A and B are shown apart, each in its own frame.
Chain A
Amino acid sequence: MLEYALKGTKKYWGWIFFLSLIIFVGVWFYLKQFSYGLGITGLSRNVTWGFYIAQFTFLVGVAASGVMVVLPYYLHNYKAFGKITILGEFLAIASVIMCMLFVFVDMGQPLRLINVFLYPTPHSLMFWDIMVLSGYLLLNILISHITLEAERKSMPPPKWIRPIIILSIPWAISIHTVTAFLYSGLAARPFWMTAVLAPRFLASAFSSGPALLLIMVFIIRKLTKFDPGDEPIRKMAIIITYAMCANVFFILMEFFTAFYSAIPEHITHFQYLFFGLEGHNTLVPWMWTSALLAIVSLVFLLIPKTRNNNRILFAVCIAIFVSIWIDKGLGMVVTGFIPTPLGDVVDYIPTIPETLISLSIWAIGFFLITVFYKIALSVRRELLT
C-alpha cells in the first residue's frame, strides 16, 4: 500500500519537502550532540531531564489516546467512528515512534541502548515502559495494516484480529500508566510522587490526543473529499469535554493536597510553577497561559451551543492541545527537579540545538502521519485528485 504515498499533488510534495527540511536540520544538530555530548542541551547536574523526556511523556499520552476512538468503535460497535478509527490508530503509531526517538536522543550512550535488552531488569520501570511501548507499536501496526487491507479489498477484517484489537485497549491504558509510574515511584521527587499522577496523565491524554485528532480531521476535511460526517465530531467533542473535566479536577486535587497540608517540599514545586521561587520564574507565564486556556476551553466545551459550533470547536481543540502541551511538555518534568533535593533553585532553559532536535522529531511524526493518512484516504478514494 506504500505506493499510495508516492503519488500526490504539488501541495502534498511541498509539505513533505518542508518537513524533510526540518528533519535534516535536526539530524545535523543531533550529530553535533552525538559528538559533543548531552552538554549541548540546557540540562545540568541538577535538572537532568528536560525537554526531550517531557515531549516523550506528552506523546505517550497522544499515543494512548488512540483508544478513545478504538474503544467505542470496536468494543461498543459505535459505527459512526468507522471513518476516523484508522486515523486514531495511525496517530498512535506516529506518536509511539516519536516517543522512542525522544528517548533515544536523551540517552548519554545511545549505542548502548541494547543493554536494556541484554540485561532485562524487571525492577526498573524503564524496562517495562520500553516493553509496553514496543508492544503497543506492534499491536497498532498489525491492527491498522490488517483492517485497512481488508477495507481495500472491500471485505470484513479477519475474525482473528478482533481479540488483538480488544487487547490493544487495556494496552493503551498501560503505556501511560507505566509512564506515570516512571515518575510517581520516586521518593526523591515529591512533586511527582502522587498517586493521582497516572489518572491525571490519562485524563490529560484523553483530552489532548482526541483534540489533536479533531484538529487533523478538520484540516483534512478541508483539503480532501474526506468527510466523517457530523456525528463522530460531536461525539469526540463530548469525549474531550469529559476528559478535560477530569484533568482539571485532578490538577485541583493536587493543589488542595499540597497547599492545605502545607508541607514545604510539596508546596515549593507548585510555587515555582505558578509564582516563581527565589526570583526564578521562567515557567510562570507559561503555566498561567496553560491554566487560562484550560479554563476558557472547558467553559466553551461545557456550553452545548459553543461546543456544537465547528469553528469554535476547532479553536478550542487547539487551546486544549496547547494548554496540556505546556503542562506536560514543559512544566511537569522539569519542576520535579526544581527545587533540587538539596533545596537549590536552578533554572533550566532548552538550548537552540535541543529545541531544533525536538522540532525535527515532531516533524518526523507529522511526516509519518501525512504519509499514513495519505495511504488511508487513497485506499478509500477520498482524495481530490
Chain B
Amino acid sequence: MNENRRKFLKLTGLAALGAATGKFADVFAKEKLTKISSLNITGKKRTTLVGIDSKKRWAMVIDLKKCLVEEGCTKCIDACHKIHNVPDFENPKDEIKWIWKEPYEQAFLDQENYYQKDNLKDKPVPIFCNHCDNPPCVRVCPTEATWKREDGIVMMDWHRCIGCRYCMAACPYGSRSFNWRDPRPFIKDIDPDFPTRTKGVVEKCTFCDERIAKGQLPACVEACSEKAMVFGDLNDPKSNVRELLKENFSIRRKPELGTNPEIYYLV
C-alpha cells in the first residue's frame, strides 16, 4: 500500500469515527428528549389521554377462602387469557401464562406451617404479576421496554422488547413468559380488540390497563363469581382494598426481597 493511500484510508477512518461519536452524542441528546417525553407519558399529559391517574396506586386483595369455594375453578384464568390473546401451546416448554394457579406451598415458599389444620395445604392459589412498587424486572430491562406507571402498573412494550429475557431472570415470582415461537397459530379465537404478540418478546399481566383506562375492572376480577378478587386504590384510605387490609391478616409473596408486591392474599 503506498503512503498516500494509507494516509487517505486513515483520514477517512478518523472521519468515520468522528461521525460515529457525533451520532453517539446525538443518542445522548435524544435520551434526554425521550426522558422528557416519557415523563409526559407517565405524567399528567397522558393522564387525560389514557386515564393514568398518578394519585392512584392500584392493588389487589385475594381472599383465598372465597377463592377455594369452587373446586377446580379457572374462570379468572380463562377470562384473562381469552381477552388478551394468550396462546395455548399445551406443552410446558413453550408455555405462556398471565395468571395461573400454584399449590399454596409453592406460591408461598417461605410459609411453612407444618402442623396447621391443612385447610390450605396443596390448595391452588391464583398468582400473576405482583405489580411491585420496586420491580426488579424494570430495573434490569436494558431498553425500558418494561416500566412502572405512576399508578403502579408494571407495563410492557412488546414493540421495544429485544427478547433478552433479563426480566425473567430478575422476577422472583416467575410471572413473565417468553414467546419461544410464533404464538398466533395457537390462539383459539383471536380477540381483535387486543394486540397479539410476535415471537421473541416477553409478556405478562398488565393489570388490564386497557380496561382500567375505560373505568372497568380487570377481567379476572369481573370473572370471579365468588368475588374473591378485589381491585382498588391503595392510596385512598376508604377504598375497598384498604378496608379489607385493615380488617384482615394478609400475606404477600416474598416481601422480604424488598420488591413491595401489591397483590395481597387473605388466608
Contacts and interface: CB of A to CB of B under 8 A. Distances in A.
Interface string A164-202: 000000000000000000100111110000000000000
A265 B202 CA distance: 26
Given A108-B161, A342-B174, A124 B142 contact: yes
Contact of A108 (B169, B179, B257): B179
Contacts of A336: 169
A156 interface: no
A120 B31 contact: yes
B95 interface: yes
Contact of B180 (A38, A116, A189, A340): A38
A107 interface: yes
B169 A116 contact: no
Interface in A97-132: 106-110, 112-113, 115-121, 123-127, 130
B164 A107 contact: yes
Contacts of B34: 119
A218 to B, nearest CB: 34
A46 interface: yes
Interface in A15-63: 36-39, 43-46, 48-49
B136 A108 contact: no
A121 B201 contact: no
Contacts of B51: none
Residue among B140, B164, B173 facing the most chain A CB atoms (10 A cut-off): B164
A336 B169 CA distance: 9
Interface stretch (B55-63, B102-110, B220-228, B241-249): B102-110
Contacts of A187: 136, 172, 257-259
Contacts of B166: 124, 126, 182
A106 B102 contact: no
A37 B95 contact: no
Contacts of B144: 119, 121
A48 B140 CA distance: 15
Interface residues of A, number: 45
A187 B107 CA distance: 17
Contacts of B202: 108
Contacts of B199: 36-39, 108
A186 B109 CA distance: 18
B186 to A, nearest CB: 11
A304 interface: no
B160 A119 contact: yes
Nearest to A340: B174
Nearest to B162: A112
Looking at chain B, what size class is its interface with the partner chain? 35 or more
B56 to A, nearest CB: 24
Nearest to B198: A109
A336 B170 CA distance: 11
Contact of A37 (B169, B200, B254): B200
Interface in B141-188: 141-145, 160-166, 168-174, 177-182
A108 B174 contact: no
Contacts, number: 147
B257 A119 contact: no
A151 interface: no
B160 A343 contact: no
B109 A342 contact: yes
B93 interface: yes
Interface string A306-322: 00000000000000000
A377 to B, nearest CB: 20
A362 B107 CA distance: 41
B191 to A, nearest CB: 22
Contacts of B31: 119-120
B181 A37 contact: yes
Given A39-B181, A119-B143, A342-B106, A107 B162 contact: yes
A39 B142 contact: no
Interface in B91-105: 92-96, 102, 105
A121 B31 CA distance: 9
B139 interface: yes
B165 A49 contact: yes
A341 interface: yes
Given A120-B27, A121-B144, A124-B141, A109 B106 contact: no
Contacts of A123: 139
B114 interface: no
Given A46-B174, A108-B178, A119-B143, A342 B102 contact: yes
A186 B140 contact: yes
A344 interface: yes
Given A37-B200, A44-B93, A188-B170, A108 B140 contact: no
Given A107-B200, A121-B142, A112 B174 contact: no
A188 B171 contact: yes
Given A48-B165, A126-B164, 8 more contacts: A36-B199, A37-B199, A107-B164, A108-B164, A121-B143, A188-B173, A337-B169, A342-B102
21 contacts: A39-B94, A39-B199, A44-B92, A44-B94, A107-B162, A107-B163, A108-B178, A121-B144, A123-B139, A124-B166, A185-B140, A187-B258, A187-B259, A188-B169, A188-B170, A340-B174, A341-B109, A341-B173, A341-B254, A342-B107, A343-B106
Interface of B: 27-28, 30-31, 34, 92-96, 102, 105-107, 109, 136, 139-145, 160-166, 168-174, 177-182, 198-202, 254, 257-259
